[in-house]
Amino acid sequence: MKRVVQILLTLLLVFSAASCGKKLYTPGSYEGAAPGIHGKDVIVEVSVDEKEIKEIKILQNEETPGLSDAAFERIPKAIIDGQTLAVDTVAGATYSSKAIIAAVTEALAAAGADIAALSEGKAEADVVTAATENLEADVVVIGAGGAGLAAAVSAHQNGATVIILEKMPQVGGNTIISGAAYNAVDPERQEPLGIEDSIEKHFTQTYEGGDKLGEPVLIRTLVENALPTLHWMESMGMEFKDGIFTVLGGLWPRAHKPVKPLGTGYIETLMNYIEKNEDSILLLTDTRATNIYKDKDTGRVTAVKATGPDSTILAQGNKAVIIATGGFGNDVEMREKYNKIWPSLKNIKSTNHPGATGDGLALAEQVGADLIGLEHIQLLPMGDPDTGSLAGNIEQGVENRIFVNKEGKRFVDEGARRDVMTKALFEQEDDFMWIVLDSHNYPTMDTKNNFNETIGELVEQGRAYMADTLEELAEQIDVDPENLKAAVAGFNAAVEKGGPDKFGRTLFDEKIDTPPYFAGARMPTVHHTMGGIKINTEAQVIDTEGNVIPGLYAAGETTGGIHGSNRLGGNALPDIHVFGKIAGANAAAE
């Protein structure tokens, strides 16, 4: 028996040595590519020896700055550390994560790897009980989107030390992926363009545009502070273009467009300030707030409990806590619970980032905050049919484009409120429409839309269509050519007379008469939640008895009462920055 055991051990060692000597890769460096969120390739270079993946370089990517950074930092490291393709995607950067993994997979396939073996699931990690870490600052901010970062910067400028807790692996929230239009009455920019505007007009359109359900004092605070807050952002380096435009559902030309794409300029501006003052502003990502605590004797909000990657955090706010966690546009259960206006929203996609799940509402309820207007959920008629996002939208402004249905017919005033346009779209076949415009919007194929995509790229990717005649365009998008020509002719006639047309449209500029002509497909998508935490003009949170909750503030889409039943396009960016700035200043002054 002893002899048999010795033979078996010898054979085992031989087989083990043979296995260890197995060549897994052909040594060298290999490139791989896969389309990212905008349809443009993420290109990687993967270096291997016979046994291991040694290095992964990102050679090219045109993903959204800020939003995708965590994916490019974490995914390659996870693949190398685990020597596996079975790695988790990064929350909030799913498309970028999948593109990196797919590109690395292609490169490894070229290296002769066993892709099936590399893609097998990971073993379950050991459960480790996290220790509790106690932190302390004057102000604790929950959420690192536009409102939270604005609040943090404002609090610091007013003398406070700050802790920011962000559940996602990156900052930016919905702001960084937004269309970024910022409404403000701005005579310096508007008057040279012949645009007449006033604070009173902005107030009236906001109030009436929300069916007079918004709090007038909050609306007044918004419209009066929009321009000063824009100047505050500019003082920190934020840049806007000189022109003014009318954003979808904005009702008037008062929207400012940042120089940088999407909402990256807002987030970069605020983060530049925070990074320069990191000695007194602590930013923690991957850290989800789970509880807010009051002092049992004074009723003042004093601390926040959060779960971090390595520990449980107890963050003490010696002066105040600010909730700036965004809305719940990406929480299907909450949408279904509160929706009283729309057909079922269960299968409707959203423009929102994955973290927009209403966390702040539950936190605020823990300390008795009042929640208002939760049934007011905004949909846009502008979602990408595949993803629900605003990317790929070919419109540049309201005045120079029309909407047509699958028959090629117009069906609504394209300058109306967002809810009006979306309800009309739900009445069309398959809830589907085409945006139609011409070269007035895209004089060259390199002209970009509001999401940093060129029209040439969109056409090449099949996300937009281009033709030299309306008949050819109609054939490409499969609509009746006579209907499409009649729709354009009706629009052009209204442009000549200055409107209104048969739909009541009053916003016009150029005719659609200069080829090439373009079309892009759109469908309804969940965009904004107008309801939320009740606040006053000082951004203080109000409880269910109508009283201020000491030491608790809120700002941004997590709040309710400003926009009523419908938010005007272009009012979100001033909302989050105006009330974020107010919340930060007042929290620091506690």
Q: How many CA atoms lie within 13 Å of 387's alpha carbon, on the beta-carbon side?
A: 16
DSSP structure class, residue 538: T
Strand-pairing partners, residue 32, are: 44
Structure tokens given for 547: 């009283």
> Of 143, 152, 177, 160, whose CA–CA distance to 275 is shortest?
152
Please report the pLDDT score of residue 102 as a whole number.
86
How far, in whole angstroms, is CA 40 from its chain's centroid?
Answer: 19
pTM: 0.83
How large is the angle between the packed helices 94-110 and 69-82, nearest 10 degrees? 40
How large is the angle between the packed helices 199-209 and 216-235, nearest 10 degrees? 130
Query: Under 8 Å CB-to-CB from 44, ≥6 apart: which residues?
Result: 31, 32, 33, 56, 57, 58, 59, 76, 100, 103, 104, 107
Structure tokens given for 493: 């006639």
CA distance 153 to 159: 10
Per-residue pLDDT in tens (0 to 9) along the chain, 590 residues: 444 444 444 444 433 434 445 788 999 999 988 877 666 789 999 999 998 999 999 998 877 666 678 888 888 998 998 899 888 888 667 778 888 998 899 889 888 888 888 887 644 434 344 578 999 999 999 999 999 999 999 999 999 999 999 999 999 999 999 999 999 999 999 999 999 999 999 999 999 999 999 999 999 999 999 999 999 999 999 999 999 999 999 999 999 999 998 999 999 999 999 999 999 999 999 999 999 999 989 999 999 999 998 889 999 999 999 999 999 999 999 999 999 999 899 999 999 999 999 999 999 999 999 999 999 999 999 999 999 999 899 998 899 999 999 999 999 999 999 999 999 999 999 999 999 999 999 999 999 998 889 999 999 999 999 999 999 999 999 999 999 999 999 999 999 998 899 999 999 999 999 999 999 999 999 999 999 999 999 999 999 999 999 999 999 999 999 999 999 999 999 999 999 999 999 999 99
Pairing, β 131-142 against β 162-165: parallel
CA distance 427 to 309: 47
CA distance 396 to 436: 11
What are the φ and ψ backbone dihedral angles of 201, each rounded to 5 degrees? -65, -45
Structure tokens given for 107: 């490169």
How large is the angle between the packed helices 481-497 and 470-477, nearest 10 degrees? 130
Position 511: which residue type? K
Peptide bond into 309 cis (omega under 30): no
Structure tokens given for 308: 């971090």
CA distance 266 to 134: 31
Contact assessment for residue 156 and residue 281, using Cβ atoms and an 8 Å cutoff: yes
The beta strands (E) that lie in 261-388 are given as: 281-284, 288-294, 301-307, 311-323, 371-372, 377-383
Structure tokens given for 200: 């009173």
Look at phi and psi of residue 459 and say left if phi exceeds 0, alpha if psi is from -120 to 50, else beta.
alpha
Q: DSSP string of 49-99?
A: -SS-EEEEEEEE--PPTTTSHHHHHHHHHHHHHHTSS--PPPTT-HHHHHH
Structure tokens given for 194: 């012949």
CA distance 154 to 147: 10
With vertex at residue 519, the alpha carbon angle to CA 517 and CA 521, rounded to the nearest 5 degrees, is 180
> Of 584, 589, 568, whose CA–CA distance to 182 is shortest?
568
Structural domains of the chain, ranges and CATH numbers in brackets? 23-118 (3.90.1010.20), 131-376+530-588 (3.50.50.60), 380-524 (3.90.700.10)
Query: Under 8 Å CB-to-CB from 351, ≥6 apart: which residues?
Result: 174, 177, 329, 380, 383, 388, 389, 390, 525, 526, 527
Where does 281-330 have alpha helices with state H? none
How far, in whole angstroms, is CA 580 from its chain's centroid?
Answer: 17
| Three-state secondary-structure class, residue 132 | strand
Please report the pLDDT score of residue 110 as a whole number.
86
Contact assessment for residue 384 and residue 392, using Cβ atoms and an 8 Å cutoff: yes
How large is the angle between the packed helices 264-276 and 146-157, nearest 10 degrees? 30
Q: How many CA atoms lie within 13 Å of 407's alpha carbon, on the beta-carbon side?
A: 10
What are the φ and ψ backbone dihedral angles of 253, each rounded to 5 degrees? -75, 90
CA distance 358 to 501: 41
Please report the pLDDT score of residue 354 as a whole number.
92
Pairing, β 182-183 against β 255-258: antiparallel
Query: Under 8 Å CB-to-CB from 249, ≥6 apart: which residues?
Result: 380, 416, 417, 418, 421, 566, 568, 569
Structure tokens given for 360: 């702040």
| Three-state secondary-structure class, residue 377 | strand
Catalytic residue numbers?
418
CA distance 228 to 111: 57
Pairing, β 532-534 against β 559-560: parallel
CA distance 250 to 232: 23
CA distance 374 to 331: 13
Structure tokens given for 67: 């939003």
Please report the pLDDT score of residue 116 as a whole number.
82
| Three-state secondary-structure class, residue 359 | helix
> Of 90, 42, 78, 34, whose CA–CA distance to 62 is shortest?
42
Contact assessment for residue 433 and residue 381, using Cβ atoms and an 8 Å cutoff: yes
- For the chain, the distance separating the N- and C-terminal CA atoms, rounded to the nearest angstrom, is 83
